[in-house]
């Protein structure tokens, strides 16, 4: 399998580490009254869709970016990948 890293280009699977469902980037508010229940869901519960799945991969063998990769779990076709760091972000070269 090859993953199109937005920075490095298309790279072999061996350069990446899989983490899991992209919902892991949405850490619950620890101050919320139901934080315990929300963290339980955040840590333990995952959807397991047959089809498109957003998931987190770490490009440790490359640019060290965390990526949100959209993969079809039926076919392993990678539909796309973007840097997980998007919100409030800026680029250093623009």
Partner 1 sequence: MSDMAQPNRLPAGGAIEGRVDRNRPLAFTFDGKSYSGYAGDTLASALIAAGVKLIGRSFKYHRPRGIFSAGPEEPNALIELRGGARREPNTRATTIELYDGLEAASQNRWPSLAFDILAINQIASPLFVGGFYYKTFMWPASFWEKVYEPLIRRAAGLGRASESPDPDHYEKAYAFCDVLVVGSGPAGLAAALAAGRSGARVILCEDDAQLGGRLLSERQTIDDAPAHLFAAAAGGELRSLPNVCVMSRTQVFGAYDSEVYGALERVADHVTAPAAGVPRQRFWHIAAKRCVNAMGATERPIVFGGNDRPGVMLASAVRTYLNRFGVLPGRKAVVFTTNDDGWRTAADLVAAGAQVEAVVDPRASVDENLTKAAAAGGVRVLLGGYIVNVTGGARGVTSAIVSVAGKRQILTADLVAVSGGWNPQVALTTHRGGKPRWSDALSTFVPGDLPDGMTVAGAANGDLGLAESLRKGSEAGAAAAAACGFSAAPAPQPRAEDEPTAVAPLWHVAESRHKAFVDLQNDVTADDITLAHAEGFRSIEHLKRYTTLGMATDQGKTSNLNGHAMMAALTGQAMSDVGTILSRPPHQPVAIGAFAGHHRDRHFRPTRHTAGHAWALENGAVMVEAGPWLRPQYFPRSGEKDWLTTVVREVRTVRSVVGVCDVSTLGRIDIQGRDAAAFLDRVYVNTFSTLPVGKARYGVMLREDGFVMDDGTTSRFAEDHYVMSTTTANAAKIMQHLEFCHQALWPELDVSMVSVTEQWSQYAVAGPKARELLMQLYGPDVDLSNDALPYMGCREIPLRGIPTRLFRISFSGELAYELAVPARYGAAVLEALMALCGALGGCPYGTEAQSVMRIEKGHVAGNELNGQTVARDLGLGRMMSTKRDYIGRVMAGRPALMAPDRPTLVGIRPVEKGRRLTAGAHILPGGAAAVAANDQGYVTSVAYSPTCEGWIGLALVVNGPARHGERVHAFDAMRNNDQDVVICSPVFVDPEGVRLRG
Partner 2 sequence: MADAALQLKARSAFDGLLVPGGPKDAGIVVTERKDLQIATVIARSSGFAEAIKTAYGIALPSGPKRIVVHEITLLGTGPRAWFALRAGERPLASDLEQSLGEHAAVADQSDGYGVLRVSGAKVRALLAKGVPIDLHPRAFAADDVAVTVCSHIGIMLWRSDADSSFDIAMFRSLCGSFWSWLSESAEEFGLRVEAE
Give the binding site for partner 2 (CB under 8 A): 7-9, 11-12, 14-15, 61-65, 83, 85, 90-94
Q: Which is nearer to partner 1, 88 or 93 (CB)?
A: 88
65 binds partner 1 (CB under 8 A): yes
CA 1, CA 60: separation in Å to the nearest integer?
16
List Cα–Cα distances, 68 to 30, 31, 35, in angstroms: 23, 26, 25
1 contact choice in partner 1, partner 2, none (CB below 5 to 8 Å, kind-dependent) = partner 1
Q: How far is CA 14 from the centre of its chain?
A: 16
């Amino acid at each position: 399998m090859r993953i199109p890293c937005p920075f490095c280009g298309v790279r072999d699977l061996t350069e990446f580490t899989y983490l899991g469902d992209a919902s892991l980037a949405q850490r619950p508010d620890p101050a919320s009254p139901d934080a315990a229940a929300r963290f339980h869901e955040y840590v333990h519960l995952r959807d397991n869709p047959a089809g498109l799945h957003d998931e987190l991969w770490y490009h440790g063998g490359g640019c060290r970016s965390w990526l949100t990769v959209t993969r079809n779990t039926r076919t392993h076709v990678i539909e796309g990948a973007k840097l997980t760091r998007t919100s409030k972000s800026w680029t250093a070269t623009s």
